[in-house]
Amino acid sequence: MLNNVDALNIKRAIRSAIEKNQIPGANLLIFKEGKEIFYHEDGLASREEELPIKRDTIFRLFSMTKPVTAVAAMILVERGEIDLYEPVGKYLEGFQDQVVDDNGTLVPVYREMRIKDLLNMTSGLLYGGDGKAGKATEEVFKEVNEKLLTENALSTVEIANKLGKCPLAFHPGAFWAYGTSADVLAAVIEVVSNIKYSEFLKKEIFEPLRMKDTAFYVPAEKKGRLANTYGVDGKGGFSLYTGNHLGIIQNMEREPSYEAGGAGLVSTIDDYAKFSLMLMNGGSLDGVSILHPRTVTYMTTKTLNEEQYKGLVPWTELEGHSYGSLMRVMADATKAGTIGSPLEYGWDGWLGCYFANCPADKLNFLFMTQRTDAGTMEITRKLRNIIISSCGE
**Tens-digit pLDDT profile for residues 244-255:** 999 999 999 999
Please compute the mean of the pLDDT values over residues 332-351 and round it to a whole number: 95
- Judgement on whether residues 315 and 361 belong to the same structural domain of the protein: yes
Domain boundary among 194, 219, 253: 194
- Whether residue 294 lies inside any domain: the answer is yes
Burial degree of 150 (CB within 10 A; 0-12, 13-18, 19+): exposed
**Residue 258 structural domain:** 4-72+200-391
- Judgement on whether residues 287 and 361 belong to the same structural domain of the protein: yes
- Judgement on whether residues 88 and 68 belong to the same structural domain of the protein: no
Q: Does an H or E element contain 282, and which? A: none
Domain boundary among 163, 194, 225: 194
Burial degree of 19 (CB within 10 A; 0-12, 13-18, 19+): exposed
Q: What are residue 40's DSSP bridge partners? A: 28
pLDDT in tens, 217-260: 999 999 999 999 999 888 888 999 999 999 999 999 999 999 99
pLDDT band at 392 (very low <50, low <70, confident <90, very high): confident
Q: Compute the mean pLDDT over every residue in the chain, rounded to the nearest whole number.
A: 96
Which parts of 216-292 fold into alpha helices (H)? 269-280
- Whether residue 77 lies inside any domain: the answer is no
The confidence score (pLDDT) of residue 55 equals 98
Q: Supply the pTM of this predicted model.
A: 0.97
The confidence score (pLDDT) of residue 150 equals 95
- Judgement on whether residues 160 and 51 belong to the same structural domain of the protein: no
CA–CA separation, 339 and 359 (whole Å): 15
- Judgement on whether residues 135 and 274 belong to the same structural domain of the protein: no
- Whether residue 355 lies inside any domain: the answer is yes
CA–CA separation, 378 and 77 (whole Å): 37
- Whether residue 78 lies inside any domain: the answer is no
The confidence score (pLDDT) of residue 26 equals 98
- Judgement on whether residues 228 and 346 belong to the same structural domain of the protein: yes
- Judgement on whether residues 357 and 231 belong to the same structural domain of the protein: yes
- Judgement on whether residues 267 and 123 belong to the same structural domain of the protein: no
Could you tell me which of 71, 284, 307, 108 has the C-alpha nearest to residue 197?
71
CA–CA separation, 271 and 340 (whole Å): 25
- Whether residue 225 lies inside any domain: the answer is yes
CA–CA separation, 195 and 164 (whole Å): 21
- Whether residue 365 lies inside any domain: the answer is yes
pLDDT band at 152 (very low <50, low <70, confident <90, very high): very high
pLDDT in tens, 294-331: 999 999 999 999 999 999 999 999 999 999 999 999 99
- Whether residue 240 lies inside any domain: the answer is yes
The confidence score (pLDDT) of residue 236 equals 87
CATH number at residue 159: 1.20.58
* Residue 281 CA to its chain's centroid (Å): 20
Domain boundary among 194, 223, 241: 194
CATH number at residue 211: 3.40.710.10
- Judgement on whether residues 351 and 267 belong to the same structural domain of the protein: yes
Sign of CA dihedral 28, 30, 36, 40: negative
pLDDT in tens, 45-99: 999 999 999 999 999 999 999 999 999 999 999 999 999 999 999 999 999 999 9
CA–CA separation, 264 and 118 (whole Å): 17
Which parts of 42-130 fold into alpha helices (H)? 66-78, 115-120
Enter the DSSP assignment of 377. -
CA–CA separation, 221 and 211 (whole Å): 17
Number of separate domains in the chain: 2
CB 87, CB 73: distance < 8 Å: no
- Whether residue 327 lies inside any domain: the answer is yes
Q: Does an H or E element contain 222, and which? A: none
- Judgement on whether residues 141 and 276 belong to the same structural domain of the protein: no
Q: Does an H or E element contain 172, and which? A: none
- Judgement on whether residues 293 and 329 belong to the same structural domain of the protein: yes
pLDDT band at 122 (very low <50, low <70, confident <90, very high): very high
CA–CA separation, 366 and 346 (whole Å): 10
pLDDT in tens, 191-223: 999 999 999 999 999 999 999 999 999 999 999
Residue 302 neighbours by CB under 8 Å, 6+ apart = 322, 323, 324, 329, 331
- Judgement on whether residues 185 and 206 belong to the same structural domain of the protein: no
Residue-wise burial string across 369-383, b where 16 or more C-beta atoms lie within 10 A, e elsewhere = bbbbebbbbebbebb
Report the DSSP pairing between strands 105-108 and 288-289. Answer: unpaired
Please compute the mean of the pLDDT values over residues 136-141 and round it to a whole number: 97
